Amino acid sequence: MTGEHASAAPVPRSVGCGAARRSFDLLRAENKGGSESTVTVLVAFTANLLVAAAKSIAALLTGSASMLAEAAHSWADAGNEIFLLIADQRSRRAPDREHPFGHGREAYVWSLFAALGVLIAGAAVSIVRGVQGLITPEPAEKFTIAYAVLAVSFVLEGISFRQSIRQTKPEAESMHRDLIDHVLATSDPTLRAVVAEDAAALVGLVIAAAALAIDQLGGSGIADAAGSIVIGILLGVVAIILINRNRRFLVGQTADPNVRSAVVQALLDDPEVARVTHLWLEIVGPRSLMIVGDVDLTGDDVESHVAVRLRELEARLTTSPSVAGAVLSLSAPDEPSLMP
């Protein structure tokens, strides 16, 4: 339907709504992980707190620069998990008059703070301590304690990493992405941060162990200091990636092409919609998007009824927990149709 008229024939609402819900299975697939994100962050926070305390004691006893870098890394991660918990909770607040589409973008603000914490408290401290170690090398001692702490830390970080992968893998499969692509693309910044930080922590532990082993053989302290710098660079790269991803979601990130196809199909499945000619999807929070589009309604109807039918169609779309809001307009006669 274009112009002033569309069909006045009544359409069973349950039929259109059910078809739309089936087409939104892809949208809801990522939404299933929402409640699990809090568990993932809590597991990571507990692990990092225990690891940070153990590494700090080991750094004092051994005098190892790379161990100190690892301690700074874990304290930074533990602090960042607090930001991620705030991000997760504040983004779940219900819409209100000033925020009709919810508070989802708060997740990216607090996750951005967490990424800055990795950059400053983790990367910068590690690099500075490593440079100091190169200028005035101080050979480490009591290597057995260091290796024991690194081994325990690896187990604890592994438990946290396993939990984050446990959440990520089914989400990635349902969104038809590989694991790394999903971590980078997911609209859930807390999940992305935990996976990235845990992966960096495991790699950092291996680097610290290698640096200590080389230092134990050579006894100069240079390898240990170099290990601290490498760990700092690793954390810096992770922090920059996380900062950039949060920035993109804050300024406006469009939805995945698969999600866009699902929305087009959901609209076409509604018996009131003849075709879709324009669609804009913007992520407005973790697993939450805003729909703006143009549709051609079926049949002929007087103009006063068309607006009502459009509002009812918008309401049916927003029954999906993944849709924060929908704004639909009528298509122009000469606009080409979109296909799923």
> 6 lies in a domain?
no
- Whole-model pTM: value is 0.79
Whether 236 is covered by a domain: the verdict is yes
Q: What is the CATH number of the domain that holds 320?
A: 3.30.70.1350
Is residue 187 domain-shared with residue 69, that is, in the same domain? yes
Same domain, 212 and 243: yes
Question: For 2-11, 86-95, 118-127, which range has the lowest pLDDT when averaged over its residues?
Answer: 2-11
Q: Mean pLDDT lowest for which of 27-31, 42-46, 308-312?
A: 27-31
- Whole-angstrom CA distances from 182 to 53, 154, 191, 253 are 32, 24, 10, 15
Is residue 1 one of the residues assigned to a domain?
no
pLDDT at 83: 85
Q: Would you put residue 252 in left (φ > 0), alpha (ψ -120 to 50) or beta? A: left
Number of domains in the chain: 2
CB-based contacts of 3: which residues, under 8 Å, 6+ apart? 330, 333
Confidence at 34, pLDDT banded by 50, 70, 90: low
Predicted confidence (pLDDT) at residue 137 exceeds the cutoff of 50 = yes
Q: Residue 337 falls within a domain, yes or no?
A: no
* Co-location of 127 and 179 in the same domain: yes
For residue 154, the domain's CATH number is: 1.20.1510.10
In this prediction, residue 176 carries a pLDDT of 81
- Please give the order of strands across the beta sheet that includes 288-297: 253-254, 273-285, 288-297, 323-330
Instruction: From 251, 271, 287, give the residue that closes a domain.
Output: 251
Average pLDDT value for residue range 38-58:
86
pLDDT at 1 (0 to 100): 53
pLDDT tens digits, 56-94? 888 888 877 777 888 887 888 888 888 888 888 888 888
Verify that 247 and 260 share a domain, yes or no.
no
| Higher pLDDT among residues 141 and 233, named by residue | 233
Q: Say if residue 7's pLDDT is above 60.
A: no
- The rounded percent of the chain whose pLDDT value lies above 90 is 18
Locate tokens 């967490």: which residue? 114
Give the Cα separation of 82 and 77 in Å (integer).
Answer: 9
Q: Domain of residue 134: give its range.
A: 32-251
Q: Which residues contact 78 (CB under 8 A, 6 or more apart)?
A: 45, 48, 49, 52
Residue at token pair 């922590």: 201
Q: Do 131 and 68 lie in a common domain?
A: yes
Average pLDDT, the chain: 82
Specify whether 66 is located in the same domain as 214: yes
User: Exposed, middle or buried, 268 (CB in 10 Å: 0-12/13-18/19+)?
Assistant: buried
pLDDT(139) > 80: no
